[in-house]
Each structure stands twice: as structure tokens, then as C-alpha cells.
Amino acid sequence: MRNMYRRVGILAALVLATVVLLVVPSASAHTQLSTTAWTVVSPAPVAVAGPATVGCQGADYMAGGSIKYVGYQNEFAKYDPTTDQWTTLASLPDITGGAGAACAGNKVYVIGGTDSVGYSVNLTRIYDIANNTWSYGAPMPGPLQALSIGTYRGQIYVWGGLGTLGNQTELWAYNIATNTWTTNLAPVPMAVSSSGYGVIGGHLINAGSLGNPFPQFQVYSYSIAANTWQSRALLLTAVYGPGSAVANAKLWLFGGVTGSGVPSNETQIYNPLKDSWSYGPTLNVGRAGIGGARVGNYLIAIGGFDQSRYGTTDTEVLLVK
């Protein structure tokens, strides 16, 4: 993705769309889910790489992404892992890929990403689950795509990502109640983008990154209370563009591009209490640019690209207990 910036005007917008059910639930889908193997489930409604995904109110929400030779998308849909069912929702108010997604209450926040031609943007998009409508919040202090994101105690934290000058170190916090951004937080020790990430016990964790040009092993943890970063145990396999999610107080990374340039099917699990990594079940299809999320006891890996496809509908679920 190009990381050039084109200024985008922020206009309040509300979009309402009729909900359309796309997939008939499979009666046997849930008896096949496993804690020891990823299960291929109903495909996403559109083939994308780099969608923004987040678990919220019992579903995994998927926003935007890109398809080779087609461009960036404004598709917005949700996946219910308890019924193996996809539902299309009101389209994003703008076309984007490589954004970050966060959940707070009954709202989904889709932040940053690209415009329709790949320039990084600073948009804060807010989806109201109850009303199936979109609006805009205060824009980020700068344009970012391929960013890391997480929510903690009424704040949405955004760090790293691709800005106007490549990988970034900035850490910003969006106050949901006041619709304002804080910028005077400690920067990430290394410029990062396309990382695995999560929030565990008041700490932001960033794992791996797109390097120049190789993937990185580095892992960093940020204490929200102390406003400080620390280096943590290195990844077992250096990757960029993995899916990621937090489950059982551990950070799970799945897929991503390795040093060989090939999308991986590995799952890497970080235990912050032991500051150690281990391998988990492998994906059925090695991919990068995956949308990763957790919904209840389910880890979900959506879309991405492999060696032959840039943009897939592949969806896999791993049961975690």
C-alpha cells in the first residue's frame, strides 16, 4: 500500500441500509469446532486483504479491505460464530483498507486506513450497532494505515502504522466521552506497522512489524499507567501482517508474511506473565493481511492474501476455553 497522504474533509454522515442475510446457518458447523485445530467456516461476503476487524456485542465486524486489480472496499459486515452466519450492514461512509477497528459499548470505531487510491487518512468513523448508521468523530492527529489499535477504560489507543514518511512511532489516545485526541504519550521504541497487537491487563502489546523490507522479531509492551514501553521476548518467527487477538490473557498471532516472503500458517501465542512465546494450531491456509478478532470463546481469522490470491473470503475459527 502506498503511504502518501491526501487530505480528506471530515463530513458528518449517516448511512442506513437494509440488513441482508447472506448465509444460511449450518446445523453441524459448531460441532466441528475444535480447540486443537482451526476450522474452515462460511466464507466472508467479499474477498479482501487487510480488513479492519473487531469483536463487539457478540459478533465479529469486518470493515473495508482491498482486492488486487479491483481496489479498496467500503463493505461492512458481521460474522456470528455461534450460528456461522454473515450479515451485510450499512456500507462504510468511505472506501478504505488497512484501517484499525475498536469496540466500545454499542459502537464500532474504524480508524485511519486508506482512501480509494491508497493514500493514508486520519478519519475516525463511528458505527452505531443499534441503528445501523455511521457518523464521523474527531480525526486522528495524522494519517495512518496498517496501524495497531486497542481499547482500555474509555480510551482507544492507536500506535505505529504507515504515515506520510513510512513507519511511525507515535502513540495517540482517543477519549470516547469527549471526542478528543491526546498526543503527548511515549512513542514506540521502534517505528512499526502491520503488526500483531492487543491489550492485556493495562498494557498495549505490539508484536512484529513490516521492516525495510523484512519482517521484524521485536515485541514491545506499553504500561498505560506508567506511560513507558519495555522490550519483551522476541517472536518465534518474525512476521508482518498477521491476524491477532487476545484470548485467555494471551496474545495470539496467526499467519503473516515471514522472512522468506511467503504467507505463514503458524499461530504464535504470547504469555505476558511468563514473557514467553509458544506455537499453537496452524491455519488451514497460510495467509497474511488477515483480519483477526475474538468473539466469546472463538478466535476468528478473516480474509487476507496468499501466494496466488490477493484478497480471499477464507474464514477460519478456533475454539478457545
Q: Is the pLDDT of residue 22 over 50?
A: no
Give pLDDT tens digits for 199-242.
999 999 999 999 988 999 999 999 999 999 999 999 999 999 99
% of the chain at pLDDT higher than 90: 88
Nearest to 281 by CA among 42, 31, 35: 35
Instruction: Give the model's pLDDT for residue 277.
Output: 98
- Tell me the mean pLDDT in the region 117-136: 98
Instruction: Give the model's pLDDT for residue 30.
Output: 57
Instruction: Give the model's pLDDT for residue 313.
Output: 97
- Tell me the mean pLDDT in the region 237-266: 97
Instruction: Give the model's pLDDT for residue 212.
Output: 81
- Tell me the mean pLDDT in the region 181-210: 98
Q: Rounded CA gap, 137 and 115, in Å?
A: 17
Q: Is the pLDDT of residue 124 over 90?
A: yes
Instruction: Give the model's pLDDT for residue 275.
Output: 98
Q: Rounded CA gap, 82 and 47, in Å?
A: 22
Domains parsed from the chain with CATH numbers? 20-319 (2.120.10.80)
- Tell me the mean pLDDT in the region 19-46: 70
Instruction: Give the model's pLDDT for residue 31.
Output: 56
Q: Rounded CA gap, 214 and 2, in Å?
A: 17
Model confidence at 321, in pLDDT bands (50, 70, 90)? confident
- Residue 239 DSSP symbol: B
Q: Is the pLDDT of residue 86 over 60?
A: yes
CB 89 within 8 A of CB 79: no
**The three three-digit cell numbers of residue 69, written as one number:** 486489480
Instruction: Give the model's pLDDT for residue 70.
Output: 85
Mean pLDDT of the chain: 91
Where would I find the beta strands (DSSP E) of 154-275? Answer: 155-159, 162-163, 166-167, 171-175, 180-182, 196-200, 203-210, 215-223, 228-231, 243-247, 250-254, 267-271
Q: Is the pLDDT of residue 7 over 70?
A: no
